Amino acid sequence: SRVRFEETFNAVRTNFGGTDGMFRRLFGGGSADMFLVPDEEGNVDWLASGIEIRAKPPGKEPRVISQLSGGEKSMTTVALLLAIFQSKPAPFCILDEVDAALDEANTERFASSLHGFLDRSHFIVITHHKRTMQHCHKLYGVTMPQRGVSRRVAVRFEQVGNDGRLSKDAVE
């Protein structure tokens, strides 16, 4: 229904681009916004128009979001996702290596931002970054002691070696 969509859109817009929104929290400043794309005559239709996104990291003036860097795009997407979560939290959220393009500082910001949502949802995060692992309450290792056959083990942070391999005692 149109009213529900309008309410959700406005809520997410504030959660995303507001002064205390997710974008400014993840980037430590800057500005972001989302708006409905008008048709040729300049009319906006709540029931059909598409959604455009603007994102300006602090101190920068990108004209379009395609100019953002790989890491900036990942952080902007996470900000948008968490903004949607704020207005309608899904019971759980699965993130598969969303931190792949992030440097250490942004990985830290991303992983700690999840803690603000744990009253309503829980997260399952697949990662190779040690920083993200440190923000997990529990770690599962998936290895292949027999080539081609996956086995699940419970691991502690200290058992994840620097080379990404799981230590022997975790695998038993």
Partner 1 sequence: MRLAKLTLSGFKSFADTTEFTFDAPVIGIVGPNGCGKSNVVDAIKWVLGERSAKSLRGSAMIDVIFAGSATRKPLGCASVTLTFDNPVLDRSVEVAPSAPAMETIEDEQESDDGEAEGSAQVRRGLVVHRALPVDHDVVEVTRRLYSDGRSEYLINGKKVRLRDIRELFMDTGIGTDAYSIIEQGKVAALLEANPAERRAILEEAA
Ligand X SMILES: Nc1ncnc2c1ncn2[C@@H]1O[C@H](COP(=O)(O)OP(=O)(O)OP(=O)(O)O)[C@@H](O)[C@H]1O
Task: Write out the binding residues for its own copies, residues 67-86 only, by CB under 8 A.
Answer: 70
Q: Give the residue, chosen from 28, 38, 58, 116, that forms a contact with its own copies under the rule CB under 8 A.
A: 58
Q: Indicate if the alpha-carbon torsion angle 56, 48, 5, 121 is positive or negative.
A: negative
What minimum distance in Å lies between the beta carbon of 107 and ligand X? 12
Residue 40 in tokens = 């040729």
Q: Check binding of 100 to Mg ion (CB under 5 A).
A: no
Sequence-distant (6+) residues with CB within 8 A of 63 are none
Report how far residue 170's alpha carbon sits from residue 155's, in angstroms, rounded to the nearest whole number.
6
Task: Please report, as residue ranges, which positions from 120 to 159 form the binding site for Mg ion (by CB under 5 A).
Answer: none
Contact pattern from residue 55 through residue 84 relative to Mg ion, giving x for each residue in contact according to CB under 5 A and a dash for the rest = --------------xx--------------
| DSSP calls for 77-109 | HHHHHHHHHHHS--SEEEEESTTTT--HHHHHH
Question: 20 vs 114, which CB is nearer to partner 1?
Answer: 114
| Contact residues: its own copies, CB under 8 A | 58-61, 70, 97, 100-105, 108, 128, 144, 146-148, 161-165
